[in-house]
A and B are shown apart, each in its own frame.
Chain A
């Protein structure tokens, strides 16, 4: 046997160890999620006696029970959340792409200052704003409507997405705009007919992140929505803890699973855009 053999074998062993380690980490990461799904399909009496994933007796009642356990059927909350998400996505797509076009392509007075202001707002904690915002929205009569959740999105307050799109537009060759300009196109046409179609990947990333963040958002929805028929999914799930005083765990698990399905689906089909989105913003 020559000297080369032991090293390749050692390398192969190292590779196997690496994969085994990674698979263990992956299983550990997924275990709580899988246990949640398994628990939603078990009789309540089995949930806390089984740490495994194998289901002895199936119990499908948790889903219908959970669906009707609160003041309104769970479909109400799902629909409410979808409404808020839809408004937020549309708002962010329009307002952030407009602002990004201006920052990336237009020369205007105070541009440097405005750009810094935009970057700073990315890092501003919502807590500093929430109380005066609440007072303001209360005066407008907007509490217990979805306006405080949606209108800010139409005003480009999620500056992170402006930044994401500015980065993307900077990568689009300027010759395209200039050619259009020579053909007599104004900024509105360049924005609408050249930029937006080219920006589809950045728009998709924005739509997907807005979907997930809005779907998960608890803090602002808890504050601005207090009427049960307007509850969104996170607020409704919270009232589950209060209402059930934790007796019907299975139902609670079932509705938790239901609430995560949309995020999971978006992840499954939009992964490409998600990964690219966070990778490009994180790069140096």
Chain B
């Protein structure tokens, strides 16, 4: 059961959580206090505390050296006229909206190909999964920069056909595209999740469908995809949340600047520049909260839309 399924269960029934007798409860409270102590300290000290602090800082001017100075809505007013913020939002939204569905489509397609007891499954799965473990590393970002450089692998390959490719990472029109390709390259993780989901679909359903004369295509659209939709939803939500926060790859291919011409200025990279480059901690906190609100809204929208296309078989 996924974390998202867990939310659904909680909203449906709370009974599972309150079944213990009173006597037992008093004894468990003490034990729970012990076992949960590290987590509670972490939650309050490292998560909730800083969240509240950053909400306050969002309304201040703060450079780390002097005490934060309360400036009311100045940071929000500034956001409205901040061209680089608008640019970073545009870059991030473009990246998220293109790369997440594309990655999931590739992951799903390969999971479907690999599903039917194919020979060599474990080898294929391993090879396809490997990039998703490496993709977040600086080393791969460095590699990408050189693969798509003016004198890179891609252009060396194109030269074989007499084509002179552009400097993919140094051209504002294509730089973001190279990051989308990198994201798609790491499709292995969602693919493995899809494979696990496909395995849960009972074989008998396909047999029954085939007996009823349903074509392969019909089986895919009327059987496989609806039964898989909770997992598609799970991958979609996690993919969106994750890629809104992308940082490393854009930082490395642009030397931390988000260039060329701010074409790879991911939101989190802009936040980093404001906070740790210019030490505008107040404004950066306001940006962080904007990111949280955007991600929250997107996730909520997703949950709302899921009513119309996610099929729960229970």
For chain A, residues 240 to 265, give those with C-beta under 8 angstroms from any C-beta of chain B: 240-242, 249, 252-253, 256-257, 259-260, 263-264
Interface size class of A (residues with CB under 8 A): 35 or more
* In contact, A128 and B288 (Cβ under 8 angstroms): yes
* B48-56, B72-80, B207-215, B217-225 - the one binding chain A: B48-56
Q: CA separation between A83 and B192, bound complex, in Å?
A: 30
Which of A112, A127, A156: most chain B Cβ within 10 A?
Answer: A127
User: Is A267 interfacial (CB-CB < 8 Å)?
Assistant: yes
The smallest C-beta distance from B164 to any residue of chain A, in angstroms, reads 14
Q: A259-B137, A263-B137, A282-B235 are in contact. Are A18 and B113 (CB under 8 A)?
A: yes
Q: CA separation between A215 and B139, bound complex, in Å?
A: 11
* In contact, B288 and A130 (Cβ under 8 angstroms): yes
* In contact, B245 and A283 (Cβ under 8 angstroms): no
Chain A, interface SS category:
helix
* In contact, A267 and B28 (Cβ under 8 angstroms): no
* In contact, B38 and A98 (Cβ under 8 angstroms): yes
* A28-36, A68-76, A198-206 - the one binding chain B: A28-36
Q: CA separation between A274 and B33, bound complex, in Å?
A: 31
The smallest C-beta distance from B28 to any residue of chain A, in angstroms, reads 4
Which of B17, B157, B190: most chain A Cβ within 10 A?
Answer: B17
User: Is A152 interfacial (CB-CB < 8 Å)?
Assistant: yes
The smallest C-beta distance from A135 to any residue of chain B, in angstroms, reads 7
For chain A, residues 1 to 44, give those with C-beta under 8 angstroms from any C-beta of chain B: 18-19, 21-22, 25-26, 29-30, 32-33, 35-36, 39
Chain B residues whose C-beta falls within 8 Å of the C-beta of A237 in the assembled complex? 138-139, 142
Q: A218-B138, A282-B235 are in contact. Are A132 and B291 (CB under 8 A)?
A: no
* In contact, B288 and A119 (Cβ under 8 angstroms): no
Chain B residues whose C-beta falls within 8 Å of the C-beta of A99 in the assembled complex? 35-36, 38-39
Q: A121-B43, A129-B51, A279-B193 are in contact. Are A234 and B29 (CB under 8 A)?
A: no
The smallest C-beta distance from A256 to any residue of chain B, in angstroms, reads 4
User: Is A284 interfacial (CB-CB < 8 Å)?
Assistant: yes
* In contact, B137 and A260 (Cβ under 8 angstroms): yes
* In contact, B6 and A107 (Cβ under 8 angstroms): no
The smallest C-beta distance from A48 to any residue of chain B, in angstroms, reads 4
Q: CA separation between A283 and B276, bound complex, in Å?
A: 39
Chain A residues whose C-beta falls within 8 Å of the C-beta of B292 in the assembled complex? 124-125, 127-128
* In contact, A216 and B3 (Cβ under 8 angstroms): no
Q: How does the 8 Å CB contact mask read for B52-83 relative to A, with 1 for contact and 0 for none? A: 01100100000010000000000000000000
Interface residues of A (CB under 8 A from B): 18-19, 21-22, 25-26, 29-30, 32-33, 35-36, 39, 48-51, 94-95, 98-99, 101-102, 106-109, 111-112, 114-119, 121-136, 138, 152, 154-157, 162-163, 167, 186-188, 191, 212-213, 215-216, 218-219, 222-223, 233-234, 237-238, 240-242, 249, 252-253, 256-257, 259-260, 263-264, 267, 271, 274-275, 278-284
Q: Can you report 28 residue pairs joining A to B where beta carbons are below 8 Å apart?
A: A22-B118, A29-B131, A35-B147, A48-B151, A48-B152, A108-B25, A109-B25, A116-B10, A118-B39, A122-B3, A123-B3, A125-B244, A127-B291, A128-B291, A130-B288, A131-B281, A135-B64, A163-B3, A163-B6, A213-B136, A219-B272, A234-B138, A234-B248, A282-B2, A283-B2, A283-B193, A284-B230, A284-B312
